[in-house]
Amino acid sequence: MSHSLTDLLDNNRRWAGKIESARPGFFTSLLQQQAPQYLWIGCADSRVPANELVDLAPGELFVHRNVANVVVHSDLNCLSVIQFATDVLKVRHIIVVGHSQCGGVAAALADRRVGLADNWIRHVQDVRNRHSAWLETVPEGERVNALCELNVIEQALNVCQTTIVQDAWQRGQEIIVHGWVYRLHNGLLKDLRMTVSRLDDAGAAYQDALAAVQARYAELARAL
Ligand SMILES: [Zn+2]
């Protein structure tokens, strides 16, 4: 085994020891059940570790990550996570979290070929194409971040449009969908106000969130 992997296992033993001494019985209590309130759908990027960013312990956050935090209606992996989180764990919040300077989003914006992942990133290009006229008005240096935010809003809308979440709302289950973006340069999360707690509100929330992003980048363009 390479030296670096030995380090990881050593780190793990230290981590488990630290948690167990701070909260005796912590791990055995998790054996009984997990009852997270939140489902995090984020990017696979190593700089965006879900639990750490919101300071939640194991057992408190159900997580799905993929390249560029995409929610596709035919992706059984993501849909299964949403279904389990909604129907079995009964999470109260589903949060789609993008991040600034996302490599997947940057590749989508620039039509950069990276390999098989091009086919996945296509979904972000669909977002780019839907908003291409507006993106043209954004200063070039800010376009990746603008598309990162648009992508969050679109993917959060996709969550609302899954049969899983719609059925949950239909039967009166309380579940709120959110869209956030994480800023790599300062470690802060921003709420993009794509907050939806029932299907009828999805369209208006989508329009409001888009308008807020557009206003913010328009202001930025004026300041340059
Ligand atoms: Zn990313």
- 43 in catalytic set: yes
Span 112-132, average pLDDT: 96
Catalytic residue among 64, 78, 102, 160: 102
Average pLDDT in the 208-215 region? 98
What does the pLDDT average to over 45-53?
96
Q: What is the mean pLDDT of residues 115-138?
A: 97
Residue 2 reports pLDDT greater than 80: no
Ligand 1 centroid distance, CA of 67 (Å)? 6
The edge-to-edge listing of strands for the beta sheet with 61-66 is: 61-66, 38-43, 93-99, 176-183, 188-191
Q: 164 versus 223: which is more confidently predicted?
A: 164
Question: Catalytic annotation on 47?
Answer: yes
Q: Which of 45, 78, 131, 160 is catalytic?
A: 45
178: three-class secondary structure by DSSP: strand
Structure tokens at 155: 């993917």
Cα separation, 127 vs 147, in Å, equals 8
Q: Please tell me the distance between residue 179's alpha carbon and the centre of ligand 1 in angstroms.
A: 15
Is 73 among the residues known to form the active site? Answer: no
Closest CA to 139 of 37, 220, 28, 74: 220
Condensed to tens digits (0 to 9), the pLDDT of residues 145-204 reads 999 999 999 999 999 999 999 999 999 999 999 999 999 999 999 999 999 999 999 999
Active-site residue flag, 45: yes
Instruction: Name which residue leads in pLDDT, 143 or 32.
Output: 143
Q: Compute the average pLDDT of residues 70-87.
A: 98
Kindly report the average pLDDT of the chain as a whole number: 96
- Please report which confidence band the pLDDT of residue 3 belongs to, taking 50, 70 and 90 as the band edges: low
The whole-number average pLDDT for the span 32-52 is: 95
Largest CA distance in the chain: 57
